[in-house]
Structure 1
Amino acid sequence: MLTEERMVRIMDLLHKNSFVSIQDLMKRFQVSRSSIMRDLQELEEQGRILRVRGGASLVDTDVLLSRYNEPAVQFKEDTQKDAKKIICHKAIEEVHDGDCIFIDAGTTPVYLLEGLKHKDVELVTTNTYLLERLPLDFKGHVYLLGGEFSKKYDSSFGSMTTQLLKQFRFDLCFLTANGISVQEDEAYVFDMHIGTIKKEVQMRSRKSILLIDHTKLKTRAFYTWSNLSSFSKVYMDTYPNNERMPENFKICKEIEND
């Protein structure tokens, strides 16, 4: 069976069942796990599905993410990669030498690093995934906040992290969300403890930036941690043409090659 045909059949199954597991797809199509993972990654890049732990759901289904089905960081590294690059390429223009900035957990902020490496800033983060990719020629200073650590999400959190945050004030913070609702003016995250960190950071920042790709418009998660209207700017790659876009939303154009 050709890859294209298999992907069509995966979409048929999703329309019937709303969720498919990787194990079921492997048995059904008699192919390896890596083949199914490549199919699901391609479908997600097309914006047609959302990969969750153990399988996939339709993007236009009400998906409620929690700590039980949120994928680990390594499974999200290449998800919406081009969109993340476009968003971060524009958002990094907010940063100036001398700023004290906070960068959130997750894979999206990693794409800030290319534009950040020549900035002389004070960088505070809980994100070890980001620090592993920090360029050797980064000019600024780095403060990694401790606390309870999750290897699955490559980030620290909890009461100790919150107390450490209270010692900082930020010129600017870059935050992420698992999903949003424009209608309800809400930003979501899969775990309330992670959400508490995000709330504390936003409260202690002079300017707050939310970085999200278009797939987050269709996703709901366990915990509401902020209102979209409270952000200075919300950077996205695309937005539905038939829907009214909030004034603080900024759509990023494709990166022009030199």
Structure 2
Amino acid sequence: MVEARRQLLADLLQNQRYLPLEQICIRLSISAATARRDLSELERTGRIRRTPGGALTDFSDKFPSFAERLGRDSDRKSALARQVLPHLASGSTVYIDGGTTPFALARLLPEAEIPGLKVVTNSLPVVEL
């Protein structure tokens, strides 16, 4: 059973390339501790690479770069970002993560001219805007 679950996890990662720990737990109906043990074993055997908060496969040549991911579904990301703008009030604070969809929102903020808006981010691309 353990080996079957680990194989399923390896297959999931092969298909998805990256999965956060939370998604691994949900998809396999396992605890975070079990997921971590399985990830450690898969990493030990060289099948995956662990990351902070998740795991991925074939990082060096198959994981798409930020620029590649930014180009995927860019129209949908921009549309979603435009839907967020009306919900940002004057003087509010917005936290923008490092993904490409939040980046689409960050691109729109200067033209939105929201008085007193504070932006907090851990994303270098957002900081560089």
Compute the TM-score of the two structures, normalised by the length of structure 2.
0.48
| Greater share of strand | 1
Determine which structure has greater relative contact order: mean sequence separation of CA pairs < 8 Å that are 6+ residues apart, divided by chain length: 2
Compute the TM-score of the two structures, normalised by the length of structure 1.
0.26
